[in-house]
Amino acid sequence: MKSGSLKLHRWLLAAAVLLLVGQPAFAEKRVALVLGNSAYLNVAQLPNPVNDSARIASTLKDAGFDIVDSRHDLPAAETRRALRDFADRARDADIAVVYYAGHGIEVDGANYLIPVDARLERDTDVYDEALSLERVLIAIEPAKKLRLVILDACRDNPFARTMKRTVAARAIGNGLAKVEPTSPNVLIAYSAKAGSTAADGDGKNSPFTTALANHIATPGLDVRRAFGYVRDDVLKSTGNKQEPFVYGSLGGEDVPLVPAPAPARPVPAAAAAAPAPPVNAQAEARRDYELALQVGNKSALNAFLKQYPDGFYASLAKLQLDKIAAEEARVAATEKARLAEQERVRLAAEGAQKAQQAKAEADAKTAEQARLAAEKAKQVAQDQAAAAEQNRAAAEAGASDKGGADKDKAVNLAALNAGPPAEITKSVQAELRRVGCLAGTADGDWNTASQRSLTLFNRYAGTRFDAKVASVDTLDAIKLKSSRVCPLVCEHGFKADGDRCTRIVCAEGSVLSDDNECEKRRGKKPVASREEDGRQARPERPVRERQRPDAGAAGARAAQGAAQAAGQGSGQILCGDAGCRPVNRGCHLEYRSFSAGGPYPAGGNIEICR
């Protein structure tokens, strides 16, 4: 009896331990704010946002969230108050979620949520009448483990079509703009990829909300994997017209919105022997492959091949790796051809020996041929990968999903979501060099010079990529530019000549000005100086008495009267610069031209004495 009691005690103790171990390892506080705007006052009403917000609120309440604050059809002032109150509730929370359904708009690269009382007659009204996405992120910032914003706001926006532009250069986008969260543990989910619009659907809820409600609260399911399933469902229900997208990153551990359930209690041996439902390995491989394909780098694809070394999706992953390798070879060949051509031009400009120029020309020709071959190889690899993806899409569309019994395998998401690899960075740098925005080398180090070059590309190409990272989207956009984007800037004394700088040579007698232009050399002008002391006196010239044409008649008559009174000469008067005087005795006046000795260019009288 005592032995049986001891066995029972031990069994109860073991059961208690199992119950304690089976509980979640944490007791997280989870809060949510759910907003839905349908009854807009100044544009047509939306049918689904209120229904969508109600379904998401119900889903989160059923999932055991501590606080679910659901509001609908709020004007701007009440929306700001709701965000302020929610920030207080999120202060000690582990997980904070904001869901918004309604109209949103992108202005100059920033995203805004539009309350129901907004008018938005001008583009600048968005700063006063709407709420920025940054304001929402501030409300959930205190959460410790996960800060999640879900926006079903990428609808076709009627405000963008009617509002006036106060500045012609201000961009108003279609849908919402791409975002790169700067804080850790932040995810921002769009119902449609940046720059595209989402559909409301024909049912009570939008396709995005329907898929979200089906997967987001799955116990133990990592939130990133849940949005992967949401993406699959929305693509399928919209015929691949709408693709949800998630921006941001988390760490390597799984982060479910709902904790995994406690393990089941021990069951009898007979029940334990029952076979488990089979796992759909093909569906598991497909989802992991699509995740690796979305990351789009060699690390992600190699991680996938390590887990799935064989099979249909392994072959697709190898084709994707071949495409990346072909692109790297093309970039390297392009750089080599550019350097060879630069060396050929330099030798020709410097007048090098013919043998050196011939060798440089042959090297440039060989490098150009290698570049063309790499371009063709890259195109072949790209076409093969695209054809394989089309075949995969057709095969998956024709096949029916069996089961739902497949569970998530452990995938090293930290490795897949690592920062941009050196290969992508080098490719972006090489393309920036090709379009004239980067002067340094493509070394894989995304330093300040590389970030400045991407900023220049954004300025002259009209794009808005984040200059802090080198992404695949950035690489694809730069590849689309077939010629120079950033203007060539040369030092003083050089000028742009195509894709290179040549020295400015001015003609004889000209010099290079500060404005980098040739102008005639100016002679030195004499500088006047005063010599107060010791000035050399000019030699005295004999004074020639000249009759000044404008001499006063009164002075002449006075001189003549004085001469007659003194009994001098004939009474003739000679006028010059010094005044008028009587002609000396025995002398007379004669008119002479200037060439014959006259005093003025027009001629004049001179005194002749015998």
> Residue 107 domain-assigned?
yes
Same domain, yes or no: 314 and 228: no
> What are the distances in angstroms from CA 392 to CA 303, 399, 472, 551?
20, 10, 22, 115
Check the CA dihedral 124-128-129-132 and report its sign: positive
Same domain, yes or no: 287 and 252: no
> Residue 368 domain-assigned?
yes
Same domain, yes or no: 41 and 162: yes
> How many angstroms separate the CA atoms of 78 and 468, rounded?
36
DSSP 261: P
> Residue 487 domain-assigned?
no
Residues with Cβ < 8 Å from 182, sequence gap 6 or more?
none
Contact assessment for residue 86 and residue 30, using Cβ atoms and an 8 Å cutoff = no
Q: Are strands 95-101 and 30-36 parallel, antiparallel or unpaired?
A: parallel
Residue 32 β-bridge partners: 68, 97
Contact assessment for residue 210 and residue 272, using Cβ atoms and an 8 Å cutoff = no
Same domain, yes or no: 214 and 300: no
Same domain, yes or no: 290 and 220: no
- The pLDDT score that the predictor gives to residue 569 is 54
Same domain, yes or no: 170 and 225: yes
Question: Which CATH number does the domain housing residue 158 bear?
Answer: 3.40.50.1460
Same domain, yes or no: 60 and 200: yes
> Residue 502 domain-assigned?
no
| β strands within 392-547, DSSP E | 494-497, 500-503, 510-512, 518-520
- The pLDDT score that the predictor gives to residue 21 is 41
Query: Token pair of 492, please?
Result: 């003083």
Q: Which of 87, 126, 94 is nearest to 109 (CA)?
A: 126
Helix (H, G, I), strand (E, B) or coil at 189: strand
Residue 131 β-bridge partners: 113
> Residue 86 domain-assigned?
yes
Q: Are strands 146-152 and 186-190 parallel, antiparallel or unpaired?
A: parallel
Residue-number span of the structural domain to which 344 is assigned? 282-398+411-418
Whole-model pTM above 0.75?
no
Question: Where does a domain end: 366, 385, 418?
Answer: 418
Q: Structurally, how many domains does the chain consist of?
A: 3
Same domain, yes or no: 251 and 127: yes
DSSP state letters, 125-138: GHHHHSEEHHHHHH
> Residue 90 domain-assigned?
yes
> How many angstroms separate the CA atoms of 420 and 422, rounded?
7
Contact assessment for residue 219 and residue 258, using Cβ atoms and an 8 Å cutoff = yes
Q: Which of 174, 158, 166 is nearest to 123 (CA)?
A: 166
Place of tokens 């005639």: 520
DSSP 257: S
Same domain, yes or no: 227 and 364: no
> What are the distances in angstroms from CA 86 to CA 67, 80, 131, 428?
10, 10, 15, 41
Same domain, yes or no: 251 and 337: no
Residues recorded for the chain: 610
Same domain, yes or no: 221 and 348: no
Q: Are strands 573-576 and 579-582 parallel, antiparallel or unpaired?
A: antiparallel
Secondary structure of 34-98 as H, E, C letters: EEECCCCCCCCCCCCHHHHHHHHHHHHHHCCCCEEEEEECCCHHHHHHHHHHHHHHCCCCCEEEE
Q: Computed over its alpha carbons, how large is the radius of gyration of the chain? A: 45
Low-confidence ranges of the chain (pLDDT < 50): 1-26, 267, 270-274, 276-277, 400-420, 532-534, 537, 540-553, 565-566
Provide the percentage of residues in the chain whose pLDDT is more than 90: 18
Same domain, yes or no: 251 and 339: no
> What are the distances in angstroms from CA 291 to CA 148, 303, 304?
20, 11, 9
Place of tokens 């490098």: 367
> How many angstroms separate the CA atoms of 351 and 406, rounded?
72
Contact assessment for residue 33 and residue 86, using Cβ atoms and an 8 Å cutoff = yes
CB atoms within 10 A of CB 194: 18
> Residue 348 domain-assigned?
yes
- The pLDDT score that the predictor gives to residue 479 is 83
Report angle CA 119, 123, 125 to the nearest 5 degrees. Answer: 50
> Residue 205 domain-assigned?
yes
> How many angstroms separate the CA atoms of 420 and 444, rounded?
10
* pLDDT tens by residue, 1-52: 444 444 434 434 444 344 444 444 446 899 999 999 989 998 888 888 999 9
Place of tokens 């042959």: 362
